[in-house]
Each structure stands twice: as C-alpha cells, then as structure tokens.
Amino acid sequence: EIVLTQSPGTLSLSPGERATLSCRTSQDIDSRFLAWYRQRPGRAPSLLLYRASVRAAGVPDRFSGSASGTDFTLTISRLEPEDFAVYYCQHYDTSITFGPGTRVDI
Amino acid sequence: QLQLQESGPGLVKPSETLALTCSVSGYSISAGFYWGWIRQSPEKGLEWIGSVHQSGSTFYNPSLKSRVTISADTSKNEFSLKLNSVTAADTAIYYCGADSSVRWYFYWGQGLLVTVSS
C-alpha cells in the first residue's frame, strides 16, 4: 500500500504570500493518479488539481501542481483569505488513499 | 448542477448497521459517473470507503470491504451505504461524492456526522 506523507504539518503565512506544500509517496506512482483538495473549516473537501497538475473546473490559476519522482508539490502563488484551510493530497490505484493534510494558517 | 445530499441517522448503536443515503439532483445516476462514500474523523483523517458505478460495479476499501455494501437505486436517483457491526471507531463525518473518474471526487455532499454510541 502506498503511503502519502505531507509536509509541513502547518504552514503559517500571510495573505498575498506564496505557499508551497509537499506530498511524498512511499513508492513511485503514476502522476496521473494524484489529486489535491482544499478543505475549508466546516466544509467538504474541494478538488483543486487532478493528474498532479490539472486544475479542476472553476479553480483559479493561482493554484498549480508539479511532480518529481515521489515528490509532488502544490503551489499557491498568492494566498487569498479563503486559502487558509487544510490541503490534502490523494492517490488512486485500486483504492483511494489520502494524505494526513497540511494546514495553512494566518 | 449536480448536487448531493446525505441523509440517515446521526446516532447508531455499537454492533448495529450504519445505513446512509445520498440523494442526487441535477443528474441521473444511470447516465454514468462513479458514486462514492468517504468519511473523516480526527483519528483517521479522510478515509475512502468505496464507490459504485452506474453499471453496478463496486469498489471497496480493502480495510472495510468485509463490512461495507454500496448500492445505487436508479428509480430514486440515490445511492446508499451500509456498514455492518459498527464500533466507536466508525464515528465520523460521512460524505458522499461523485465524479466521472473513479480516481477522485469533484462533487461532494455537505457531510453527515454519525456517532456510534449506546
């Protein structure tokens, strides 16, 4: 079973700053099977990126994703107030697994 | 616009069966898509439970497979989750989700807190 590790656990930033979030997989994976979600307080997760770097419908272009081996990165170029939330990476093979999340705090 | 809404009891007794329904509006479940369940607890984080395709094919988390049944009712345009022999560890917010891909979920319900307690 592939394990997802996210870092840092918490990222403290200010509006307008750049956020870089990491997701590391325990084995090499097909990047087409990795997604990122944002979960705002009291809400369901919301799909941001799929296939590691493709923005889901309606997702602003300040969100971008990249992959290098077992390392996947979500970058938010300029933090907006609604971006202070928890971010999860998610992998699919024959089952879906989520990472433990990174909290982006003000 | 596809919308999902979970319903069911908020309190289930240990050893009993947790049964939830997800009502779908804005889209016919018989037209396609994968319809799934995900839960979230402080202890386990986000945990995928499983999904059903409009064809009837089902996909389950191996760790829950022995206790889970997910099915779709096209006449009611809804799908359901049954989880047997629940314990306190099954206490969580349960979400239903949907997507054209089996790999992730674009559409989510608002979530339903289910507590397992006597």
| Per-residue pLDDT reduced to its tens digit, A47-72 | 999 999 999 999 999 999 999 989 99
Chain A positions contacting chain B at CB under 8 Å are 33, 35, 43-47, 50, 56-57, 88, 90, 92, 94-98, 100-101
A46·B108 Cβ contact <8 A: yes
Q: What is the pLDDT of residue A46?
A: 98
**What residues in B contact A100, CB-CB < 8 Å?**
45
Distance between CA A105 and CA A82 in Å, rounded?
Answer: 11
B45·A95 Cβ contact <8 A: no
Whose structure tokens read 């799909």? A47
Q: What is the pLDDT of residue A38?
A: 98
Mean pLDDT, chain B cut into blocks of 10 residues (118 residues total): 97 98 96 95 97 93 97 96 98 96 94 98
Q: Touching check for B48 and chain A: CB below 8 Å? A: yes
Residue B8 contacts residue B100 (beta carbons within 8 Å): no
Burial A8-43 (b: 16+ CB within 10 A, else e): eeebebeeeeebebebbbeeebebebbbbbbbeeee
Residue B4 contacts residue B98 (beta carbons within 8 Å): yes
Mean residue pLDDT across chain A: 96
Nearest to B36 by CA among A92, A62, A104, A80: A92
Which string of DSSP letters, residue by residue, matches A38-58? EE-TTS--EEEEETTTEEPTT
A94·B59 Cβ contact <8 A: yes
For B67, list phi and psi in degrees, rounded to 5. Answer: -115, -5
